[in-house]
């Protein structure tokens, strides 16, 4: 699969291109795991200053490690625990500018400084979360939040119709 990378004038254009690239490489017939594996690779490719991009899938009342790009990670997270579990329980995006000041942060990679977690929801039902870590403090802003929420919506539409 060939994905054309270009220089972007702004984050909005980058996220639009990322969504279009997801639409090109994701085929629901391949199944959720294969599709999310390609999505994590695309997101990692597009987003600078990230050291972990992946998915935790809601199974058996917990978040279970799904496809990802990065260092080995925690394999199961209880709902409500850590940044991922908080995003899942609240069913809203959580941004952490400095994980060292976050009381419920679950450390996996010591180089991580900031994190954003976007819940993946279909018709009010939690399917999982998109988790992205960065070695740069304050890496994620409102534009990233809106863009990644758009990516999550695209993934639901492409994979979980």
Q: Rg (Cα) of the chain, in Å, rounded?
A: 15
Does residue 101 lie within any of the structural domains?
yes
SS3 131: strand
6 in a domain, yes or no?
no
Task: Dump pLDDT digits (tens) for 18-56.
Answer: 999 999 989 888 899 999 999 999 999 999 999 999 999
**How many domains is the chain built from?**
1
pTM of the full structure: 0.94
Half-sphere exposure in the Cβ direction for 53 (13 Å, CA): 19
**Stretch 77-102: mean pLDDT:** 95
> Do the domain assignments include residue 148?
yes
Q: Domain of 76: which CATH number?
A: 3.30.450.40
98, part of any domain: yes
Pick from 153, 131, 137: which is nearest to 65 by CA?
A: 131
Any domain includes 78: yes
Query: Which residue range is the domain that position 92 belongs to?
Result: 11-159
């Amino acid at each position: 699969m060939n994905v054309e990378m270009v220089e972007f004038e702004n984050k909005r254009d980058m996220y639009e291109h990322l969504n279009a690239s997801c639409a090109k490489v994701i085929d629901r017939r391949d199944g959720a795991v294969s599709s999310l594996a390609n999505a994590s690779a695309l997101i990692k490719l597009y987003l600078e200053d990230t050291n972990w991009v992946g998915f935790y899938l809601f199974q058996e009342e917990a978040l279970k490690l799904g496809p990802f790009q990065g260092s080995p990670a925690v394999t199961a997270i209880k709902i409500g625990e850590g940044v991922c579990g908080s995003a899942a329980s609240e069913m809203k995006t959580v941004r952490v500018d400095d994980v060292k000041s976050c009381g419920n942060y679950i450390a996996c990679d010591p180089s991580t400084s900031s994190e954003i977690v976007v819940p993946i929801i279909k018709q009010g039902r939690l399917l999982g979360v998109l988790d992205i870590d960065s070695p740069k403090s304050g890496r994620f802003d409102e534009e990233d939040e809106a863009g990644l929420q758009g990516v999550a919506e695209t993934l639901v539409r492409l994979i979980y119709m």
